[in-house]
A and B are shown apart, each in its own frame.
Chain A
Amino acid sequence: MKKAVSIFSVLGLFWVGPVAADSADEILGSIDKNLNYEKRYTRATMTVTKPRRTKVYELETWGRGMDTAATEFHSPRRDAGTKMLKKGGELRMYMPSIEKVQRISGHMLRQGMMGSDLSYEDLLQFTGWRELYTAKVEGEEPCGESSCWKLSLTANRKDASYPTRTVWVDKSTRIPVRQELYALSGKLLKTWTMEAPQKFGARWYPTRMVLEDKLQEGTRTVLEFRDLQFEAANFNETVFEQRWLER
């Protein structure tokens, strides 16, 4: 009996039929299921490392669906009280020292948030991958202690900020543990890793992300989440209103 089991398990390893392999599209779907949410709350620490110095920010962020989000910075002191609201395809920022709200648009969108590797535009373009990209499974590779699919994603729309991506998806957690984001020409622009996954109900979610600009050396941004809550999150929806921003 044992022998039969072992043969089957060995055979099972080589079985690459529909049972073991998801289609690329389905993989994207499962990624979206993990990363997209109806509600999310988290505290985070953002560490921005630049050639000259490193800065650490503490922030709190609330999300409703993928297109509405509010963020408030608590530390360091000079940035405390700075707020951002993403709503209706627009991004607005409140600067407490001048008590004014500014809409971030045009060339400002390309800039990194607080000088980090995460651009304001990146924040705006958090849509589901299944809709935005067409994927192809390139193969499988070991990643850390687990095994990953290597996918190549091609954007379905001409205005997608990153026309192609290469994504390593952890098979077990369905999290894109590593992404390489490319320009239209195929040149590598950024890398984005998602690490330290934790389970929240049915979803896996990374509690640590690292972004690096690959065009200009010497910069690196690390995001660490604590107190992540999704459906269980209990917060007042007033944060998504313009008034909250101006308070």
Chain B
Amino acid sequence: MRWLMGMALRNVMRNKRRSALTMLTVLLGTALLTLGLSWLNGLMGMIFGGATDMAGEVRVVTEAYAKRQATLPLYENVDPVEPLIETIQEVHPNARVYPTIKTAVTLTVGEDIGDHFGLLVAAEEAYFRDVLELSEGIEQGAYFSGGAKEALLGRALAAQIDAKVGDDLVVLGQTQDGSPSPLKLRVQGVVNGGNSLADRQVFVPFSEGQWLADFDSGATEVLVYGGGYLEAADVASGLRKSSVFRRFESERMAECRDREVSEDICRFRVEAWSEREPYSGIYTTVTAVFAVLAVIIVFVTALGVLNTMIMSVMERSAEIGVLRAMGLRKRGVVGMFVMEGVLIGLVGAGLGLLIGMVPSVLLEVHGIHLGEGLTSKTGFPLSTTVHADFTWAIAGLSAALGILTALLGSLLPAVRASAIEPVNAMRRRR
């Protein structure tokens, strides 16, 4: 074994130029693979991340709310909401559970009550800080300081109503009963919401939202975060199937029956973001498209590497013939070439990874600016910049693929070449 390695190393060093060339191919291939996959990953993350920020990885609402969610019906609420939160927490102790209230309001700055519509999002401060990361996105003013009557405005909304930090903001909404409900708040900060939808929203403390809607201690949407956006469907089904949750729900349904109201008010709908419109459609489409793209990248890269390896081995058919004639067995010959391939692959992939990491990380930090224009008309949260997302999984994958293709690229032709009669092999020039 050691002998084989020694031979392989010597062979590699023997024709430095050729080895360098093949290694370069592996290097480039791995680097491009790293960059390509990181970029795809970032793109997917941006699309799905925006969705989960706004809609929760898993969302729990009443069935009645789900049916009319287009109108954001405040009267379909869960009040008190603490028992529901506790139940969810019991099933998924590591999850973060946030009650939220969303409703359409009109906003005014200054004297006249105007007609600017916006979406009000009331939630606990932890949601704004950890999920929406508003504390990182402050563009003017400051983040919530814990004082009363503070509001954060999405930057697009702030521009639209011409609001500045410190202004008095009048928010006019409706209670769950339909009577007009006003809030007067101070603009604490203008914030980059992270995506096109959030930039048009106004964020207020949970208690303010409850007062606006006239809830005792209720909420309309309970958002659950835990396993990341890929695991959401599993988290949701885990919650749905758990006996604890089921028991909680059937207790509520019994209450509904007692009160003789529709069961939809008491029944819950537990959905992962990917199970809800509009995300469900795009989830499958986007992942499919990205999978195809990833495969294309991998395929094309692999082909390049393979090609090079095959060439370099075929070149040495004569060598193989000589070796065989000298008594080296087929297996030995193949083994030697494979070892060379692995060696080149290791070095090439390793270097390629390092080189590929540089633009990937750069792209992750800086991102590519997509432009503001697109976002105003979409009902879908999209960021204005797309960042790549480099993960060690991608690194591992790229390197592994690089080495694998190098290996295959030396194995296959070596096997082919060693099958030829030594005499004929020696006669071939290439």
Contacts and interface: CB of A to CB of B under 8 A. Distances in A.
Nearest to B261: A51
A12 interface: no
B86 to A, nearest CB: 24
Nearest to A79: B179
B177 A98 contact: no
Nearest to A57: B179
A115 B175 CA distance: 9
Given A52-B75, A78-B211, A100 B178 contact: no
Given A52-B75, A78-B211, A102-B113, A115 B178 contact: yes
Given A98-B170, A102-B113, A50 B183 contact: no
B243 to A, nearest CB: 29
Chain B interface size, under 10 / 10 to 19 / 20 to 34 / 35 or more: 10 to 19
Q: Which residue of A79, A95, A98, A102 has the most chain B CB atoms within 10 A of its CB atom?
A: A98
Nearest to B113: A102
B182 interface: yes
A105 B179 CA distance: 15
Interface string A82-126: 000000000001010111101000000001101100000000000
Contact of A97 (B75, B176, B179, B182): B182
A115 B182 contact: no
B184 interface: yes
A53 interface: yes
A153 interface: no
A193 B178 CA distance: 23
A55 interface: yes
B180 interface: yes
A55 B170 contact: no
Given A78-B211, A100-B113, A100-B170, A53 B177 contact: yes
A82 to B, nearest CB: 9
A155 interface: no
A78 to B, nearest CB: 7
Contact of B179 (A52, A102, A114): A114
Interface of B: 75-76, 113, 170, 172, 174-180, 182-184, 211, 214, 261, 265
Interface of A: 48, 50-53, 55, 78-79, 93, 95, 97-100, 102, 111-112, 114-115
